Amino acid sequence: MEMIQLGDVCLHYRVDGDPDGAPIVFANSLGTDLRLWDQVIPYLPEGLRILRFDKRGHGLSSCPEGDYRMSDLIQDVVRLLETLEFRDCLFVGLSIGGIFAQGLAADHPHLLRAMVISNTAARIGTPEMWQQRIDTLRAGGIEALADNIMERWFSQSFRQQRPLEVSAWRNMLTRTPLEGYIGCSGAIAATDFSQSSAGLDLPTLAIAGSEDGSTPPEVVRATAELISGSRYVQIDNAGHLPCVEQPAEYARILNDFIGECGHV
């Protein structure tokens, strides 16, 4: 278990692969921890130095009190990458992790050479939608939204055929610190990277799930179209977490992009 103190937050992280390999970073969605990528990692090619981490308020990382700003969350990532000497990275971000990727590419371009924005957008939802969700969380905790979130995370066939796995992911969600989940929700609510992402020109792959109830394919595609030279791919029969539902296919798409970028 690796922990690092970065200003007001202590982050849990894990580094795997070749210590001298090309750096690749994975950033998780709201309500998940670094185990989100467990089934994808074994499919990656050799020659990569792989970093995963729990953002503030999630997993084993600390959960500072008060409001979270997206700039704070992105600065956590900047400090982590610079401290661990991860530069010129391929950054793979899902959902809020994809927002991190866009913010890093715009304001810290020396850290990224390419990015994968998965099941995400330049702006996710509306402030009113997020406030309604936060109010529900304050009243009933994460449990009050858990079943609805599972329907957005996973396709109907996955929920029917693999109920034990869905139950495990539900447990991960509901065991997320409430203040951490609310803090990150508030940060997403206040974030619109449409203008800054429209100025990006680094190699970018956008991945969507055909049955994603959180960031539908048309939302992901619209964000991809903002970025010069980006490529859009849709994984059929998958929800918001295609890396869980179809890890081999997700890794195949990712590995093709790694090859295109010459990142091994």
Which sequence spans correspond to the domains of the chain? 2-261
Instruction: List beta partners, residue 6.
Output: 9
Q: What is the pLDDT of residue 201?
A: 93
- Is 205 in a helix, a strand, or coil? strand
> CA 104 to CA 106: how far, in whole Å?
5
Q: At what angle do helices 178-189 and 127-140 cross, to 10 degrees?
A: 170
CB-based contacts of 188: which residues, under 8 Å, 6+ apart? 30, 70, 96, 99, 124, 125, 130
Closest to 15 (Cα-Cα) out of 64, 61, 51:
51
- The model's pLDDT over 198-255, given as tens digits with 9 standing for 90+, comes to 999 999 999 999 999 999 999 999 999 999 989 999 999 999 999 999 999 999 999 9
Topology of 2-261 in CATH?
Rossmann fold (3.40.50)
- Please give the pLDDT value at position 1: 87
| Residues in the chain with pLDDT values less than 70 | none
> pTM (2 decimals)?
0.97
Nearest to 191 by CA among 74, 31, 24: 74
